[in-house]
Amino acid sequence: MGGEIKEKIKNGENIYNFTIGDFDSSIFPIPAKLEEEIINAYKNRQTTYPPADGILALRESVAKFIKEREGLDFNTNEILIAAGGRPLIYTVYRSIVDKGDKVIYSVPSWNNNHYVHFTEGRHEVIETTAENNFMPTAEDIKPHIEGAVLIALCSPLNPTGTVFKKEELEKICDMVLEENKRRGEDEKKLYVMYDQIYWTLTFGETKHYNPVSLRPEMKEYTIFIDGISKAFAATGVRVGWALGPELVLSKMKAINSHIGAWSPMAEENATAKFLMQRDEVDQYLSVFKQELNERLQRIYEGFQQLKSEGFSVDACAPQAAIYLTIQLSLAGKTTKNGDFISTQSDVTSYILEKAKLAVVPFYAFGAPKDSDWYRLSVGTCKKEEIPAMLNQLRQALQDLN
């Protein structure tokens, strides 16, 4: 799909490309102070290998940052720095999952299926629904929990931009604690990987919750994945961190060292300084979140208007992150030219061809092939293009019978 989009753009077509889980840095630049600190770090020749677990100054800054903003208490030996969230997620899997071990994850979700495959684990897949905002529930997880070694959770969730409700996450935590108490000394414990890379980007009344704040006993069994990639539109800066039990993080550190996925020394020093500039961080997040929310709300309202006009589309109200969950229920319809849209793949192609709208189907995130839900990302969205995009989509929908 990405290749097709590039080819269309190359041929001069104006494509509304909402497929990318990244940012257009001309629209969403990183914080000016962070940029300044990075430049200064390079000028000061901070370009050698960092320590395997990250420079102490950054781990101290991360500890203070999460304490002030989330109320989480982690020592520097319970914090691991890496080149973004991906190597941290990979090393979580490598540290915990042995061949044949059960891993519980929901779909749609980002890349859990691949990490289970890498570690030769056993896929315990939960298909979530729009009724629960595509978030797994304790009831969904319970049938899979016996013998499992890892539950992969993400909130706010990529690809949906939705979050856990407090009560539901509490139920999941209680179930994990009960299961670990039940297990004998010789049985592997059940861990939770909690990917909260988007946690700073919540909108309106939406609140972010995490397992350890809700149930302090979960600190022994939770590995957080976090970093600056999405919070500060800094996906290419490559500074991420994991928080968790020292035993697990020491194994993650060893694996990360062998694959060389350290965060660059200059960026580590710069991030250590930037995170402690509270006013700069607050000011950036205030503007950044406002801009993201405006885009998400305007597109959401546009889809609700199309729905009210009788078109077979819908959207979930935006809660967090840079994503809007949209529904295109167009399979079974016929085009103006008499072509029959039989599959969801046909729907994706039709919307790209006629509406010039590129969005990612949920089946790219592990959902069934016939799922009519899609991820729409606003990280590269220009506000002035939203009315034209919605109008072109309306015209494409009008051409269907």
* pLDDT tens digit at each of 401 positions of the chain: 777 888 888 889 899 999 999 999 999 999 999 999 999 999 999 999 999 999 999 999 999 999 999 999 999 999 999 999 999 999 999 999 999 999 999 999 999 999 999 999 999 999 999 999 999 999 999 999 999 999 999 999 999 999 999 999 999 999 999 999 999 889 999 999 999 999 999 999 999 999 999 999 999 999 999 999 999 999 999 999 999 999 999 999 999 999 999 999 999 999 999 999 999 999 999 999 999 999 999 999 999 999 999 999 999 999 999 999 999 999 999 998 899 999 999 999 999 999 999 999 999 999 999 999 999 999 999 999 999 999 999 999 999 98
| Distances in whole angstroms, Cα of residue 180 to Cα of each of 28, 122, 143, 246 | 43, 19, 15, 18
204, two tokens: 């309106």
Query: Does residue 226 sit in helix, strand or coil?
Result: strand
| Distances in whole angstroms, Cα of residue 213 to Cα of each of 105, 204, 238 | 22, 21, 27
Query: Does residue 105 sit in helix, strand or coil?
Result: strand
pLDDT value at position 6?
A: 83
Strands (E), 141-235: 148-154, 191-195, 222-227
Peptide linkage before 108 cis (omega within 30 of 0): yes
| Distances in whole angstroms, Cα of residue 248 to Cα of each of 66, 72, 294 | 20, 18, 40
DSSP state of 76: G
pTM for the complete prediction?
0.96
Strands (E), 171-295: 191-195, 222-227, 240-243
d(C-alpha 111, C-alpha 209), whole Å? 22
pLDDT value at position 297?
A: 98
d(C-alpha 347, C-alpha 361), whole Å? 10
Q: What are phi and psi of 166, to 5 degrees?
A: -55, -50
d(C-alpha 270, C-alpha 76), whole Å? 18
d(C-alpha 110, C-alpha 94), whole Å? 17
> Could you tell me the domains of the chain?
2-28+282-398 (3.90.1150.10), 32-276 (3.40.640.10)
pLDDT value at position 401?
A: 85
pLDDT value at position 360?
A: 97
Sorted by sequence, the CB contacts under 8 Å of residue 141 that are 6+ apart come out as: 104, 126, 151, 172, 175
Asked if residue 354 lies in contact with residue 308, where contact means CB atoms within 8 angstroms, the answer is no
Which of 186, 206, 184, 229 lies closest to 85 in space, CA to CA? 229
